[in-house]
Structure 1
Amino acid sequence: MLLKNLKFIRIGLRWNSSGVQSARAKSRASPLTGHYVGFGLLAVTMTGLVYNDDMRQRTVETFLIAERVGVVAIATARCFAMYLKTLNREYATKEDYYEALSKTHKQAAETTLQALRKNGGIYIKLGQHVSAMSYLLPPEWTNTMVPLQSECPESSLEEIKEMFEHDMDVSLDEYFLDFEPKPIGVASLAQVHIATLRENGQKVAVKLQHPSLERFVPLDVELTAMVFNAMKKVFPEYPLTWLSDELRQSIFVELDFRNEAENAKITADYFKDYKSLTALRIPNVHAAKRRILIMEYVSGTRLDDLDYLDKHDISRSDVSSCLSHIFNNMIFQAGFVHCDPHHGNLAIRALPKKKNGHNFEIILYDHGLYRRIPSQMKVDYARFWLAMIEKKPDEMQKYGKRFSKIEDESLFPVLAAALTGRDFEHALSGNIATPRSQKEIEVMKRALTDEGVLLDLMALLASVPRIVLLILKTNDLTRHLDEALQNPLGLERTFFIMATYCARAVYADDTARLHEKWSIFSVHRLVGSITALWNLYSRIFLLTFYDVVFYLRELL
């Protein structure tokens, strides 16, 4: 449709150009004739708009496209002007520079926020992504984008009905016994309604893509790429094209809900054997089309609703442990990772009686974005974390560089800080099991205003594989969830759970290498197998020991 619109624009331009030339030629002979021609052209155009539905639709869409392009262009130009003015000015002190840059960050972020709100759709998605990157971007940007987590435009019921009938070949009234017109949740790409199936009376959640995305996503993806490419030309020291690259790679996958249905099934099948560790519940899928997903309705409350947890006697430390098992299993064992675990995609609900050892279930929604981690990357990442926990800086750097594919050693401190969510001192020393102090948080915020650190950060983000960026995002989101739970047992147990999964990944890799290199009767293979087994079970024993200590501490 967009290509048709662009063709329509080109034809219109050529037609108008020839028409104007003709009118000018005739106006030299007779001014009155020129007026007749002009009025005639206007009359023909208006008649076409009134009686030709296709022409009218294309004209409307052309104006909408022009409006969206204008919003992006104006916001981009304003932000460029702000930063050029600030960066080209001279300052008496470094503090004056930091203050001016902070104000510019805030002004540019607010300008961008208004543009994202105006255009909606994937621009909201982009803003949400920025708001979640507190570990990487200045707080003036991330804090300004936070409202987009809950401010998503709602599609009308008429639009939803039309799309449903088009995609399902049946009306809403024929398919459902009842359908709640008000959505229970609205996100950047879709909204969810509660309904009851006519065929069996089952209560379901119906996820419906915003119909307008069909028209504008291809254009918006290209516009986003153009903006970030322009930014790279104006500010080559701050490359952000990786953001548009990731959007281009992931958005069309997310917009096909059949992928989400398949991911949900794979994840549910995998975790059915780990429910005693995870308490994980994934709603079953009833039907899936490209823009429509119908699932069983499983309600829940936000994971960080501490009053709800206390009211239902749900242990915060137990919830924290289950979260650790879910995402560490995904990363280090399954290698198939949910890449958007924010507050809106996770919920908890109390159970009337214990099931699989827990009096609650953790519900995981929105399975549209998953990534598979390459085996060697998974092992290198596991070795990095073991070196971090065991405070072995040389091995930390070795495996961190291998995992992230960075060659510049000067970028490693930034990588370690981004992976751990800690300042340079804690990240490089491996002292990460203690909670972050307010002083450390302030140090990290100030570091993002340092031009040298910011340049290193931009260079890191531009150089690492896209899967590493998604792991960074998942790390940060799960870390924030864990902090929001205010786990009384602290971070130590979370890290020991992760260490166990890392140890298993390393053990599997060590064993595979021994089997590949040595025969079954080799002494080297025997000694290597014993060493690998010892390393694995010593860490598991340590976790078991700490489990007992933490359990006793919680009782006291």
Structure 2
Amino acid sequence: MSYMRKIPVRTITFLTSTIVGIYLIDDKYNARTLQRNGLTVWNGLCIGLDYKINFRPGKGDKIDDLHERVAQRILRVCKSNGGLYIKLGQAIQVQSAILPPAYQRTFKTMYDDAPAVDFDQVIKIFHNDFNCHPDDMFDDFERTAIASASVAQVHRAKLKDGTPVAVKVQKPDIGKQMNWDLMAYKMLMHVYEYVFDLPLTWTAETQDKHLRAEVDFINEGKNSEKAKMHFESIRSLRDQVYVPNVFWDFTSSRVLTCEWIDGVKVTDKEGLERHIFLTGFVHADPHPGNVFVRPHPKRPKNCQIVLIDHGLYVEESVVFRHQYCLFWKSLFMMDTDMINQICHEWGINEPEMFASATLMKPYKQKTALHIASNQRMSIQDAYKLQMVLKERIKKFLSNTELIPRELIFVGRNMNIVRSLNRELGSPVNRINVMGTWAVKGLGSDWSNWGGNAKTFDEKHRQLIDKGSNFSGFFGQLAFILQSRYNYWLFRGTLLMISIGFYLTKIRESIGSWIYGRGDSRGFEEILDDRMKQTIEENLGIVLDQNVFEG
């Protein structure tokens, strides 16, 4: 009997020691990988069960509480795990416009500064990558980081010749955690796709590829130099946008040294929008921390935009860039056939929904962009409306293998730029700027205005006309008249939107003065109000008041 009593004690002691040992090893040498993934899996299962049990008919009045509970749970996991989980949380924040209000409120904090690691951790990185102390490479290397994000932190320093630089140092646990983090993310997406019967995994491989590239600072340096080359090749942007130089002798896969630039908060976003249509090389993370303004070094009375943090870029294919320019042009021309054709080629079966998401304003086919839609729909039960939304999303994403992966990051860029413009009171007419540069991206070929559907033949790098060839004198004359008419119709649409833009600013300024409201609402804020109203009436989603502020 005494022997039998000793076995459980020994077993318990052994198991306890093993668990404590695994915990200590994981905590000290494995960057908490097992703990972080255990937390992810546990919460993922809880979320799946919560939705499966409580998201059903008869519980419509409890759906908001359900979303709030789940959003808070996801936020806690992201902040507790840190690292790439912050990036995943930011991805949720960027897409929060299509999520319930609880997600919009909860994930607004995802761009807050992350805690910096101690300087002794920075020293270890330098010893591993350069076999020396930071002070051996730099003068005045500041011990305290001036900025810290999810993946890295930035220190101010000087080269030995006195050149001021910004030294971006990757946090030490990122390399150990990355593979497990991405595996856990993809696993959860597969589980949710099965549980909710929604296509959720189609972006996983693209996200994986770009997140891995983002933590490679040599890749970021190359992106930086490529972006600099593109901006310098566009005459109208050459002096307006600046990308800091990279110092390659002081750069590794985990340390990036760039020219130090003094600047102030961003106040002009036009330069951010233009490169999407002309070069196809898109900065996919232009949030306020990555864009600022400085006095032009040669003309101090003028300002210059400075772009930093070039880790997350997307390189558009020639075909996609042409299609995207043509899509924007077609929105202004009310060319429903062209819009539907492009959406069909992209596997998108809800052209109006996609057009609204692209413009970030309500869009209705056959209705000019400068005319507001007055469509109304009755409010139904919350559960029924969200099921309608689910079915529309399934229809929207029914051919995910055709959807260009560039859209994931181009859409992110567009949304952040719109949010910046809104925050500053809409100093520029974003929609007109986009339309104008989309047309420039199509080039000077008048066949783009001839009224015939165009595709891009990548093999021969030339446009192929799907319609008639306008042969003969009268055919050529008809082509000239039609193409010029279409071009000036496009310009007229831009003019009407511009008039609406300035009339809105005048009306809001007068209203603010008469009613003493303080600052007047900007054009973007009014478009956002229309968007919120349309989403509420069509899908039953009541968006949070501040969701569009970014």
TM-score > 0.5, shorter chain as reference: yes
Give unmatched runs, 5+ long, in structure 2: 449-453, 455-460, 510-550
Which residue of 1 is the match for residue 179 of structure 2?
A: 218
Which residue of 1 is the match for residue 191 of structure 2?
A: 230
Match among 87, 102, 108 for residue 140 of structure 1: 102
> Using CA pairs below 8 Å that are at least 6 residues apart, which structure has the higher relative contact order?
2
Q: 1:513: how far off?
A: 3.2
Which residue of 1 is the match for residue 463 of structure 2?
A: 513
Asked if 1:301 is matched to 2:264, the reply is yes
Q: Deviations over 1:45-70 (max 9, x none)?
A: 89xx8xxxx99856844692331122
Asked if 1:202 is matched to 2:163, the reply is yes
CA distance in structure 1 between the partners assigned to 2:132 and 2:91 by the alignment: 36
CA distance in structure 2 between the partners assigned to 1:151 and 1:548 by the alignment: 38
CA distance in structure 1 between the partners assigned to 2:214 and 2:263 by the alignment: 23
CA distance in structure 2 between the partners assigned to 1:152 and 1:353 by the alignment: 36
Instruction: Give the residue type in structure 2 aligned to 1:246.
Output: T
Which residue of 2 is the match for residue 335 of structure 1?
A: 280
SS in 2 for 1:272: helix
CA distance in structure 2 between the partners assigned to 1:491 and 1:435 by the alignment: 17
Q: Which moved more, 1:180-189 or 1:481-490?
A: 481-490
CA distance in structure 2 between the partners assigned to 1:436 and 1:291 by the alignment: 51
Asked if 1:269 is matched to 2:229, the reply is yes
CA distance in structure 1 between the partners assigned to 2:153 and 2:373 by the alignment: 36
Q: 1:271: how far off?
A: 1.1
Q: Is the 8 A contact 1:242 1:461 kept in 2?
A: no
Which residue of 1 is the match for residue 132 of structure 2?
A: 170
Q: 1:349: how far off?
A: 2.0
SS in 2 for 1:363: strand
Match among 391, 405, 408 for residue 455 of structure 1: 391
Q: 1:119: how far off?
A: 0.4
Give unmatched runs, 5+ long, in structure 1: 1-26, 92-96, 305-318
Q: 1:85: how far off?
A: 2.6
Q: 1:433: how far off?
A: 4.7
Instruction: Give the residue type in structure 2 aligned to 1:421.
Output: M
Which residue of 1 is the match for residue 336 of structure 2?
A: 393
Instruction: Give the residue type in structure 1 aligned to 2:189.
Output: F
CA distance in structure 1 between the partners assigned to 2:71 and 2:396 by the alignment: 22
Match among 61, 73, 78 for residue 116 of structure 1: 78
Q: Which moved more, 1:490-499 or 1:330-339?
A: 490-499
Which residue of 2 is the match for residue 469 of structure 1?
A: 408
SS in 2 for 1:354: coil
SS in 1 for 2:265: coil
Q: How high is the TM-score relative to the length of structure 1?
A: 0.74
Cα gap change, 1:240/1:427 in structure 2, threshold over 3 Å: closer, same or farther?
Answer: same
Instruction: Give the residue type in structure 1 aligned to 2:421.
Output: D
Asked if 1:428 is matched to 2:389, the reply is no
Percent identical pairs in the alignment equals 23
Cα gap change, 1:211/1:490 in structure 2, threshold over 3 Å: closer, same or farther?
Answer: same
Q: Deviations over 1:269-309 (max 9, x none)?
A: 121143644710101101231111000011322225xxxxx
Q: Which has the larger radius of gyration?
A: 1
Q: 1:225: how far off?
A: 1.0
CA distance in structure 2 between the partners assigned to 1:491 and 1:333 by the alignment: 17
Q: Is the 8 A contact 1:433 1:495 kept in 2?
A: no
Number of paired residues? Answer: 485
Which residue of 2 is the match for residue 252 of structure 1?
A: 212
Q: How high is the TM-score relative to the length of structure 2?
A: 0.75
| Residues 328-407 of structure 1: pairs in structure 2 closer than 5 A | 328=274, 330-351=275-296, 354=299, 359-402=302-345, 404-406=346-348
Instruction: Give the residue type in structure 2 aligned to 1:454.
Output: K
CA distance in structure 2 between the partners assigned to 1:505 and 1:458 by the alignment: 39
Q: Which has the higher helix share?
A: 1
Instruction: Give the residue type in structure 2 aligned to 1:87.
Output: F
CA distance in structure 2 between the partners assigned to 1:84 and 1:43 by the alignment: 35
| Residues 59-208 of structure 1: pairs in structure 2 closer than 5 A | 60-61=28-29, 64-91=32-59, 97=60, 99-198=61-160, 200-208=161-169
Which residue of 1 is the match for residue 252 of structure 2?
A: 289
| Residues 12-31 of structure 1: pairs in structure 2 closer than 5 A | none
